[in-house]
């Protein structure tokens, strides 16, 4: 091979190239961004529209449906969901994976939203935002102060501005902020005494706070801009604004009928850290930035803030993903180092210390080249990519082992190192290349897995392909050069290793026995395949872990609950959580007025959440789930709670609730009734005598009762009252109306006109609301409208523009898996909906993504097997021999299932990836084995001698490649260097599957080879068929 000969002739060039790889690779490794999970694009765009004071019904009909209609023609839409709640519409458009440019899709959606011209003028401009990694915070900082809110706000903004200057920080959002406002609270009695209405106050504030350009005046010598300025600067200025002239000739000012106060807007959302009010800073990062670098840059800023502002404020880092990143990466790196050490020990025990160094040197060289490629293509180090590297620790030396062992064999036979390096490398070039290509072929189809799961695992096949390519270059170019110039010339006696000698004797005995009893051997193999379904463990897509020391307690209070009552319930939650021992509890953050549901915020006075931050798993005895289970009974006793859920943060891509059944139809009352029935049936699901489903609820709850004002059109026309007068006056009296906006300092301040708090509580106050007619007279609201109290809905959800109610639940992983629960509940749901034509359901949440991903993974596995077959067929120029080699694949799967059962692991998605990997790994040794059988048979024609000789020659490298691959993953499979729970099932799958397939390669491949040979001979005798020379019978007997 010319590449090998070049390397042997030019050792200086080889070592200079090695130096360059070391330097550039090390620099690339240091510069790689670190994160816990890959930067995943969600292929989604969110449209948020605010309409203060509007009911969910109004939001649905006048905003949500209007925008949905405009978006109806979008191409490549996977689904469109929406929520219409009080004063807010949120629409999320999810696109089919890898089909659209999200930036252009965002622009297209913005253009379509702009065409929705029937959206009420009172609503704010719809805000369009694509969802990506920058949408979610990586750090959360609570800023508390014993001073005024104004001072707290100033300090939080000061800290936020400093943090926003850190390279890699995309934004710092202030949660719980309240805009500055001037309240003009007009007393209805005073207004009545002066013959005024609330709308008069609004118009006066609007007219006296205008800043209008008047053009230019050219005096000849100079030009001047003309601007009419009527802006009030302070609350005192507004108090002095003249409303009207009194009957005695005096003036009525705003201060005569209203209280004017400089303040801040009312808090719809309030945050408390350990019971003390605070503001939250959400620190978000740019895509590709290094979380660890961000934290290292942020830490001195926080320390400086504490030094300079500690006497009046306290900044507490609550949500710090850098700790999780360091912990996970450290665990994986320790597994990497320990696996590499075991690989070296295995090489040394088989080949000797000096010869073991050569393939071991190839490992860092191949990885450094891989680091260069990872950086070049814009990826980083995260849990997924680092696991791919760990996976390659044992595999990456397989080709080098085959080359080294063959060179070593020729040196044992007396060839000089230079000659042995050339001949030994040349003999195995094609089988090694084919074996490497089959591993690539197994992983490459994973690049075609769509959706968020495909994006999550994309770095695995890429890193495998890059690392294997680098390994091929190293073993054909650098390795022969190392051996030729520094290789140890061994003794000519082969198999002097005592353990190997004994293993070889046992193997030859077992192989002869299996070959004599081929029928019994094949029958036993068939029995293993038949038994596989019975040992297959249940499926759980991603295992629950204790990686994140936090869980959230989410509350929905009964309808009509005030924010103060919600906060009282949250305080009860905090007191219960505070009973945890100090070695378990760190702090409790409570938030009233909002919930985070499926990555969108759900607002309402009856909503609240307590985020419980606990110590890390190594600092406490109980698991997170055990802590939750100890708190749940007391939390469920809190009064006034309609729905309570406890959710944990888990590793892996976001997928949703364990159980989610979306019911679709037109009538919300029917949907609610169906949801109640399904919830009861979910609670009654039993597995092995236990009920695994908890936190069963739905997302349709009754809202506050509505005071509905029905306008009498005839009386309205009779009195000459405009619709705008009625609607504006009602909104101003209750919620307040922004009459104007002024600038104070460098910030905009809203001027809000409304009634005082004590005149907004009774129905009579609304009935007595005074309205201005078009003729200047006044009438009461009750004279032109009827006022009634009706039930209201809390929120209205759509799925693909149709009303939907989702039933959700959490499955106890210690009892069963979501797939088992779905198998029990879906027939009942189908029977229930059969009695309600027009109503359908779809599976959502984690199961929806899981089903799709399993299907995609099976497709990838099938494609990988086809590619492997093509590669092997091209290598051997045979249609039959690839089937012999691929016999190892299904039996490796048997080993996987057995290993998962023995280690008490579920069949997880990472374990499925392990099976995909095995399809490429387990055939590698068989490829070289069959190649040696074919070579031996071509030399001396005897099939038995060829099989036995190939077994003798290939046993050592087959065992060695198996031991090194298993050694690289062994620490992770057993958790020797820290438990990487998400990836452990994948390591277990590969270790057990490979160990199982190694026995098959050494014993079963010869059995199947000779069996196919016998069948070919029979076909030739019986039908006179022309058979490949490789399958013509020999005369020897076993």
Q: Where are the domains of the chain?
A: 1-31+352-494, 44-99+113-131, 180-264+705-790, 496-544+845-1038, 549-649
Task: With cut-offs at 50, 70 and 90, classify the pLDDT of residue 940.
Answer: low
From the candidate CATH numbers 3.30.590.10, 3.30.2090.10, 3.40.50.300, 3.40.50.970, the one assigned to the domain spanning 180-264+705-790:
3.30.2090.10
Phi, psi angles (nearest 5°) of residue 79: -160, 155
Percent residues over pLDDT 90 in the chain: 16
Which range among 33-37, 212-216, 297-301, 820-824 has the greatest average pLDDT?
Answer: 297-301
Tally of residues, the chain: 1038
What phi-psi label fits residue 800: left (phi over 0), alpha (psi between -120 and 50 degrees) or beta? left
pLDDT class of 493 with cuts at 50, 70, 90: very low
pLDDT in tens, 871-930: 888 888 888 888 888 888 888 888 889 888 888 888 888 888 888 888 888 887 787 788
Would you state the pLDDT for residue 764?
A: 83
- Residue 302 to residues 140, 163, 316, 317, 569, Cα–Cα distance (Å): 12, 9, 9, 9, 32
Lowest-pLDDT choice from 37-41, 72-76, 305-309, 781-785:
37-41
What's the confidence (pLDDT) of residue 702? 59
Residue 364: predicted pLDDT: 85
Q: Is 559 helix (H, G, I), strand (E, B) or coil?
A: coil
**Averaged pLDDT of the chain:** 82
More confident: 210 or 550? 550
The pLDDT score that the predictor gives to residue 435 is 80
Cβ partners under 8 Å of residue 261, min gap 6: 182, 183, 185, 235
Q: What is the largest CA-CA distance in the chain?
A: 133
Q: Which tens digit of pLDDT belongs to each residue from 706-745?
A: 677 888 888 888 888 888 888 888 888 888 888 888 888 7
Assess contact for 645 and 607: CB atoms under 8 A.
no
Is 1027 a residue whose pLDDT tops 60? no
CB-based contacts of 2: which residues, under 8 Å, 6+ apart?
A: none
Q: What is the pLDDT of residue 1034?
A: 39
- Provide the strand spans (E) within 506-632: 550-557, 585-597, 600-614
**Lowest-confidence segment of 634-648, 650-664, 682-696, 792-806 by average pLDDT:** 650-664
Indicate whether 228 pLDDT > 60: no
Please report which confidence band the pLDDT of residue 768 belongs to, taking 50, 70 and 90 as the band edges. confident
CATH code for the structural domain at 1-31+352-494: 1.20.1640.10
**Cα–Cα distance between 278 and 270 in angstroms, integer?**
8
| Mean pLDDT of all residues in 463-472 | 92
- In this predicted structure, what is the pLDDT of residue 654? 58
**pLDDT on residue 554:** 92
pLDDT in the model for residue 21 = 92
Q: Are strands 693-698 and 802-811 parallel, antiparallel or unpaired?
A: antiparallel
Any idea which fold 44-99+113-131 has? Alpha-Beta Plaits (3.30.70)
**pLDDT score of 1032:** 44
Query: What's residue 511's pLDDT?
Result: 83
pLDDT in tens, 982-1016: 778 888 888 898 888 888 778 888 888 888 888 87
Compute the average pLDDT of residues 468-484. Answer: 85
What fold characterizes domain 496-544+845-1038?
Multidrug efflux transporter AcrB transmembrane fold (1.20.1640)
Tell me the pLDDT band of 1036, cut-offs 50, 70 and 90. very low
Per residue in 357-382, pLDDT (tens digit) is 777 788 888 889 999 999 998 888 88
- pLDDT mean over 317-322: 76
In this prediction, residues 755-783 reach a mean pLDDT of 86
Give backbone dihedrals phi and psi of 83, rounded to 5 degrees, phi first. -130, 125
pLDDT category, 488, cuts 50, 70, 90? low
Residue 916 confidence (pLDDT): 82
Q: How far is CA 86 from CA 58, 317, 796, in A?
A: 9, 32, 10
Q: What is the share, in percent, of the chain residues with pLDDT greater than 70?
A: 90
Nearest to 1038 by CA among 1018, 1009, 1016: 1009
pLDDT at 1035 over 50: no
For residues 208 and 170, the model is more confident at: 170
Could you tell me if residue 594 is left (phi over 0), alpha (psi between -120 and 50 degrees) or otherwise beta? Answer: beta
Lowest mean pLDDT among 452-456, 648-652, 772-776: 648-652
pTM of the model: 0.74
Q: What pLDDT is stored for residue 64 in this prediction?
A: 94
pLDDT reported for residue 1038: 44
The pair of structure tokens assigned to 267 is 């808090």
543-602 pLDDT tens trace: 667 777 889 999 988 877 888 999 999 999 999 999 999 999 999 999 998 887 766 677
Averaged pLDDT, 64-79: 89
pLDDT at position 221, please? 63
> Residue 1031: its pLDDT value, please?
47
User: What pLDDT does residue 633 have?
Assistant: 92
User: pLDDT band for position 1037 (50/70/90)?
Assistant: very low
Q: What are phi and psi of 231, to 5 degrees?
A: -90, 125
Distances in whole angstroms, Cα of residue 980 to Cα of each of 327, 474, 520, 546:
10, 30, 41, 10
Q: Same fold for the domain at 1-31+352-494 and the one at 44-99+113-131?
A: no
Q: Looking at residues 940-963, what average pLDDT do you find?
A: 78
Least confident of 5-9, 349-353, 746-750, 808-812: 349-353
Q: Which tokens belong to 957?
A: 């490298």
Could you report the per-residue pLDDT of 131-182, keeping only the tens digit for each? 876 677 888 899 998 888 889 999 999 999 999 999 988 889 998 888 899 9
Q: pLDDT tens-digit profile of 390-427?
A: 778 767 777 877 787 788 778 877 788 788 888 888 88
Listed range (86-90, 205-209, 328-332, 759-763) with the worst mean pLDDT: 328-332
**Helix H or strand E segment including 647:** strand 641-648
Query: What is the pLDDT confidence band of residue 210, given thresholds at 50, 70 and 90?
Result: low
The structural architecture, per CATH, of the domain 549-649 is 2-Layer Sandwich (3.30)
Amino acid 704: pLDDT? 57
- Per-residue pLDDT reduced to its tens digit, 675-693: 889 988 888 888 888 888 8
More confident residue, 699 or 433: 433
Amino acid 133: pLDDT = 65
What pLDDT does 977 receive? 60
Non-local CB neighbours of 1018 within 8 Å, separated by 6+ positions: none
* Position 211 pLDDT exceeds 70: no
Q: Which residues, in sequence order, are CB contacts of 100 under 8 Å at separation 6+? A: 43, 75, 76
* pLDDT tier at 227, thresholds 50, 70, 90: low
């Amino acid at each position: 091979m010319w590449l090998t000969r070049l390397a042997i002739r030019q050792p200086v060039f080889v070592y200079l190239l090695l130096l360059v790889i070391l330097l550039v690779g090390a620099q690339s490794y240091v510069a790689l961004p670190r994160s816990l999970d890959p930067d995943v694009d969600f292929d989604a765009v969110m449209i948020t529209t605010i309409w203060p004071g509007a009911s969910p019904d109004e939001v649905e009909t006048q905003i949500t449906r209007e925008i949905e209609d405009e978006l109806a023609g979008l191409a490549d839409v996977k689904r469109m969901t929406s929520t219409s709640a009080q004063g807010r519409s949120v629409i999320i458009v999810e696109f089919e994976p890898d089909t659209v440019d999200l930036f252009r899709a965002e622009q297209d959606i913005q253009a379509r939203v702009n065409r929705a011209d029937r959206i009420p003028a009172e609503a704010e401009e719809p805000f369009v935002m694509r969802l990506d990694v920058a949408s979610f915070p990586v750090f959360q900082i609570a800023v508390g102060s014993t001073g005024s809110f104004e001072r707290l706000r100033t300090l939080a903004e000061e800290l936020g501005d400093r943090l926003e200057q850190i390279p890699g920080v995309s934004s710092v959002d202030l949660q719980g902020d309240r805009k500055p406002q001037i309240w003009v609270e007009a007393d209805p009695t005073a207004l009545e005494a002066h013959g005024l209405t609330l709308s008069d106050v609004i118009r006066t504030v609007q007219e006296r706070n205008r800043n209008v350009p008047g053009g230019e005046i050219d005096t000849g010598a100079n030009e001047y801009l003309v601007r009419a300025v009527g802006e009030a600067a302070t609350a005192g200025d507004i108090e002095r604004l003249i409303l009207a002239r009194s009957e005695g000739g005096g003036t009525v000012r705003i201060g005569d009928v209203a209280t004017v106060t400089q303040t801040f807007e009312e808090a719809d959302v309030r945050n408390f850290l350990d019971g003390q009010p605070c503001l939250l800073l959400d620190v978000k990062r740019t895509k590709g930035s290094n979380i660890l670098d961000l934290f290292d840059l942020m830490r001195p800023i926080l320390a400086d803030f504490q030094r300079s502002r500690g006497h009046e404020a306290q900044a507490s880092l609550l949500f710090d993903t850098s700790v999780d990143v360091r912990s996970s990466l450290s665990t994986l790196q320790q597994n990497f180092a320990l696996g590499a050490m075991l690989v070296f020990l295995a090489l040394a025990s088989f080949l000797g210390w000096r010869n073991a160094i050569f393939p071991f040197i190839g490992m860092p060289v191949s990885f450094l080249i891989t680091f260069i490629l990872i950086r070049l293509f814009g990826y980083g180090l995260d849990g997924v990519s680092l696991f791919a590297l760990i996976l390659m620790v044992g595999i990456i030396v397989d080709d080098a082992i085959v080359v080294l062992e063959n060179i070593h064999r020729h040196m044992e036979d007396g060839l000089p190192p230079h000659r042995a390096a050339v001949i030994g490398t040349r003999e195995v070039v094609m089988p090694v290349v084919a074996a490497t290509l089959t591993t690539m072929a197994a992983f490459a189809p994973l690049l075609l897995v769509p959706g968020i799961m495909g994006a999550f695992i994309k770095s695995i096949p890429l890193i495998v392909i890059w690392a294997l390519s680098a390994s091929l270059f190293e073993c054909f170019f650098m390795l022969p050069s190392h051996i030729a110039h520094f290789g140890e010339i061994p003794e000519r006696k082969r198999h002097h290793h005592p353990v190997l000698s004994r293993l070889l004797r046992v193997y030859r005995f077992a192989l002869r026995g299996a070959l004599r009893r081929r029928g019994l051997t094949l029958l036993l193999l068939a029995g293993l395949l038949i038994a596989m379904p019975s040992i297959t463990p249940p499926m759980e897509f991603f295992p629950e872990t204790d990686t994140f020391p936090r869980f959230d307690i989410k509350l929905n209070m009964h309808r009509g609950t005030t924010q103060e009552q919600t906060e009282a319930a949250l305080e009860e939650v905090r007191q219960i959580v505070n009973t945890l021992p100090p070695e378990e509890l760190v702090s409790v953050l409570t938030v009233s007025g909002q919930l985070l549901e499926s990555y969108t915020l759900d607002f309402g006075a009856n909503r609240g959440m307590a985020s419980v931050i606990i110590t890390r798993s190594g600092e406490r005895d109980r698991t997170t789930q055990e802590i939750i289970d100890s708190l749940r009974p007391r939390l469920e006793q809190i009064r006034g709670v309609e729905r309570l859920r406890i959710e944990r943060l888990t590793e892996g891509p976001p997928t949703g609730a364990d159980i989610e059944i979306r019911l679709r139809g037109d009538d919300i009352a029917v949907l609610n009734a169906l949801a109640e029935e399904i919830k009861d049936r979910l609670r009654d699901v039993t597995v092995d005598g236990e009920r695994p489903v908890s936190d069963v609820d739905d997302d349709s709850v009754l809202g506050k009762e509505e005071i509905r004002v029905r306008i009498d059109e005839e009386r309205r026309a009779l009195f000459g009252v405009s619709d705008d007068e009625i609607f504006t006056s009602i909104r101003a009296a209750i919620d307040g109306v922004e009459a104007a906006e002024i600038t104070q300092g460098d910030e905009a301040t809203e001027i809000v006109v409304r009634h005082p708090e004590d005149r907004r509580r009774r129905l009579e106050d609304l009935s007595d609301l005074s309205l201005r007619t078009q003729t200047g007279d006044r009438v009461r609201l009750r004279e032109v409208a009827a006022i009634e109290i009706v039930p209201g809905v809390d929120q209205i959800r759509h799925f693909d523009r149709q009303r939907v109610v989702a039933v959700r639940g959490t499955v106890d992983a210690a009892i069963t898996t979501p797939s088992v629960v779905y198998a029990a509940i879906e027939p009942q749901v189908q029977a229930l909906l059969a009695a309600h034509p027009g109503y359908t359901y779809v599976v959502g949440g984690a199961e929806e993504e899981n089903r799709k991903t399993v299907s995609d993974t099976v497709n990838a596995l099938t494609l990988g097997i086809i590619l492997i077959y093509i590669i092997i067929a091209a290598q051997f120029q045979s249609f039959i021999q690839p089937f012999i080699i691929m016999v190892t694949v299904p039996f490796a799967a048997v080993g996987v299932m057995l290993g998962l059962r023995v280690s008490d692991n579920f069949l997880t998605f990472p374990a499925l990836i392990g099976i995909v990997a095995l399809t490429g790994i387990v055939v590698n040794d068989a490829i070289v084995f069959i190649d040696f059988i074919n070579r031996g048979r071509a030399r001396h024609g005897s099939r038995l001698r060829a099989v036995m000789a190939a077994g003798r020659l290939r046993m050592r490298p087959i065992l060695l490649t198996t031991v090194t691959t298993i050694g690289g993953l062994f620490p992770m499979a057993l958790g020797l260097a820290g438990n990487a729970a998400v990836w452990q099932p994948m390591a277990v799958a590969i270790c057990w599957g490979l160990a199982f397939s190694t026995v098959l390669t050494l014993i079963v491949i010869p059995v199947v080879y000779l069996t196919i040979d016998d069948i070919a001979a029979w076909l030739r005798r019986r039908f006179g068929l022309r058979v490949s020379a490789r399958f013509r019978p020999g005369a020897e007997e076993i």
